[in-house]
Structure 1
């Protein structure tokens, strides 16, 4: 009896039924919880979100390792990073060379989360100020935790609001990752 894998190859169809595998390297637990939540909305996408501590450039270097080895067969590699006090230019350059996609939030990821509830166009002085702004909409919010269920129905609205933002503070590219995860 022929193995299923071989017969699938002869028909020209892939053996794996998953539409896409996405590796997301995140700078924190909150950032990790978001793609984990989105993957529940978008079958058959497979998302592996991992947390690495370090600068945006260090996160890109971490994402490059599995891409070079390609052991897990990911189709896309992403890094979710905050500007905070970092120089993002080095991370952007490293990601471009390595073929890693960046989802940058300025000043931090909480801008993206706030966009699920309201426009966010005024400059934000610090990550603490961004978290305070988010708590107006999610009173129980604490860094490192995320109740994705409170956001699930508003992802498309957040995408629209994020696309309307100009570069600078506040801004976020997380909408690009959200679209990738939802379209697969």
Structure 2
């Protein structure tokens, strides 16, 4: 008896869809960062999960690594978004490297990232208040509350501007995070 050969044209051509896992973004800020990344997720339909925890950068890195380890199947990238403010950043950088968590540091603060949506700002920014005032020139009344829609049209421009900044104040790695998310 001859073995039956399957007609290759009749084979099912089902493909298993590749599930995009989320990017976990852990922020040291309570409002602004969450509003920004939630807006990015909803507007651009990108897979982001945002968690906020007011804590020192090193503790945020530990928290992010623990979430990643607890929910392994959910996240294929983990980022911590932190401001320099008055924190000692080098220990957080070393820990992030050790536990494989990406770190998006803004110096002096996240508001620099927001400013880059509107201006190619390269001059020193003293602190949060100075950054807030610069953002408010473009987004009247800005003060820790944001409507993502005001920023969406200039996201790619902000990514390019952030990439052009040097390693000192002002600087932000949030552009790397946003670029990685948009490329998914």
Q: Which TM bucket (shorter chain)? A: 0.7 to 0.9
Residue correspondence of structure 1 range 10-89 to structure 2 within 5 A:
13-14=16-17, 18-28=19-29, 29-43=31-45, 45-71=46-72, 73-89=74-90
8 Å Cα contact 1:41-1:182 kept in structure 2: no
Q: CA separation in 2, counterparts of 1:91 and 1:75?
A: 21
Cα RMSD (Å) of the superposition? 1.5
Mark the runs of 5 or more structure 1 residues left unpaired by the alignment. 1-10
8 Å Cα contact 2:21-2:74 kept in structure 1: no
Give the TM-score normalised by structure 2. 0.87
Runs (4 or more) in structure 1 with deviation over 6 Å come to none
Q: Which has the larger Rg?
A: 2
Mark the runs of 5 or more structure 2 residues left unpaired by the alignment. 1-13
Q: CA separation in 2, counterparts of 1:173 and 1:131?
A: 18
**Secondary structure of 2:42 counterpart:** coil
**Secondary structure of 1:40 counterpart:** helix
8 Å Cα contact 1:38-1:182 kept in structure 2: no
**Map of 1:106 onto structure 2:** 107
| Count of aligned pairs | 170
State the shift of 1:71 in Å: 4.8
Give the TM-score normalised by structure 1. 0.87
8 Å Cα contact 1:106-1:171 kept in structure 2: yes
